[in-house]
Structure 1
Amino acid sequence: LLLAGFWQRVIISIKNSKFAQVPTALFVEESAAEYLKINAALAPDENVLWSRHGGDDLITVFAVQRALLAWLQQLYVNTQLTFTHQSVALVEGLFPVAASQRDEPLYIYVDRFKLHILAFRQGKLVYYNQFLIKQFADYVKYIMVVMKGLGMDAEKTRVILWGYIGKNSPHYQE
């Protein structure tokens, strides 16, 4: 279906840990690689791309393998390609949810071997990061560290949890 040829626009979301978020006011396109180098090592076979968030004054800079980029551009020659990062979808998807909340919960998305934590204040993103999970204790450790750093009360702050987790999942029992 993706090769049908009638698509006018295709959005490709890159899922990796090589990203950095930069306030729009501080973003200089020519410095995109420098922003990324703060958080991740850029491999010689990677390009640096960036994506503007629709709901906030935020730009996500991310790496993508040059071969993947070239392959997709060859595959969709007559299509407008837009590259974005997984974090952009998470943040943009939560903006309307966060704006409708009376309190300021901590949002936690459980991915395969990764934990994404987001926090908003007054409708603005104040925190987003992803953590590699090696053992179950890592979940609690990262959540507590983030809550402490944001000045959230671990016993009173509401947590909204979703993702690869169910009541029969070992994660749920922890």
Structure 2
Amino acid sequence: MPQESNIHIQFKQMSIQLNLGGLSFCIFNPSLSCIESIYHLPLPPTMPLLVVEKELQDYLKNERALCQDFDTIKVIHNNQDFAFVPEKLFASEHLFEYLKFNVQEYRNQIISHDTLEQEGMINVYIPNASVNRILRETYGIFEYEHFTTLLLKVLLMHNPQKKPAVYAHFEKGCFHLVIFKEGKVAFFNYFTFEEPIDMLYYLLFSLEQLSMDTEVTPIYLLGDIIRNSEEYYLIYKYVRFIYFLPPQKSNPFCQNMDPTLARMNFILTHTF
């Protein structure tokens, strides 16, 4: 009798990040334990929804690397329609109540939530339902979370004891600011800015409100920021200890990537 084969075909894994300006795709090859490729599909925020859907459908059909089978797919929704709620105060029947001060316009969208059990927090947010639908039609079942949920998980990996520290994740014209103090997440906010000096004001004002000493407390930078940028020089002028957050040790496949590329796609590459 022929013996049953125990060979398991190991497909690649993919993470997809939905930003306000488009989508990013990251393919991980588990056989080689490395990030194989990263793709970006720019979709301006002003683009009509029907055009966005058509552009995405065409891109998924024509980009050969995205047409293969994947073992797992993780979708990350990155928008400002989110709110962290203490688990003790959370009630699933009041989801919109937690978002009413964060969401400019609400049209009966789907509201989802992620649980951070370690912190006793719930992240309530509005995912991009139309993009989720297209991805589901293309790939079938997948998991999704909000960007800020994953960001906080990564920062807790870097600072599990929650020592006093500041983390700033930059994107074009905005940044997430996370502050640890007294063994807890003391601050988490999202700021938009037109000029770098506005960014500096938000940063220093937030630190002042929490009585954080800029001569002692380190700040870690990640996302779309480089050393030769005005944002970096402004922060360097007022904060004594400034670092770029390195890839986590549990993700060795990021170690050989171009540092700027890895930093710009920090959360996207830390989902595997």
Q: Give TM class, smaller chain.
A: 0.7 to 0.9
| Matching residue of 2:147 | 86
- Conserved in 2, the CA contact under 8 Å of 1:114 and 1:133? yes
**Amino acid across the alignment from 1:116:** H
Matches within 5 A, 1:1-174: 1-7=65-71, 9-44=72-107, 46-53=109-116, 55-77=118-140, 79=141, 81-100=142-161, 103-174=163-234
Unaligned runs of 5+ in 1: none
Deviations 1:110-145 (A, max 9, x none): 222211111123543221111012101112101111
Unaligned runs of 5+ in 2: 1-64, 235-272
Give the superposition deviation at 1:153.
2.1
TM-score of the two chains, using structure 1 as the length reference: 0.85
Give the superposition deviation at 1:156.
3.0
Give the superposition deviation at 1:90.
1.0
- Alpha-carbon distance change, 169 to 105 in structure 1, aligned in 2, over 3 angstroms: same
Q: Distance in 2 between matches of 1:16 and 1:66?
A: 13
- Alpha-carbon distance change, 65 to 108 in structure 1, aligned in 2, over 3 angstroms: closer
- Alpha-carbon distance change, 6 to 90 in structure 1, aligned in 2, over 3 angstroms: closer
Q: Secondary structure at the match of 1:38?
A: coil
- Conserved in 2, the CA contact under 8 Å of 1:109 and 1:163? yes
CA RMSD, 1 decimal: 2.1
Deviations 1:76-111 (A, max 9, x none): 32x3x222111111100011222256x411111222
**Amino acid across the alignment from 1:165:** I
**Amino acid across the alignment from 1:134:** E
Task: Count the aligned residue pairs.
Answer: 170
Deviations 1:52-95 (A, max 9, x none): 12542111111123322322222232x3x222111111100011
Which 4+ runs in 1 deviate beyond 4 A?
none
Q: Distance in 1 between matches of 2:176 and 2:67?
A: 32
Q: Distance in 2 between matches of 1:55 and 1:71?
A: 33
| Matching residue of 2:259 | none
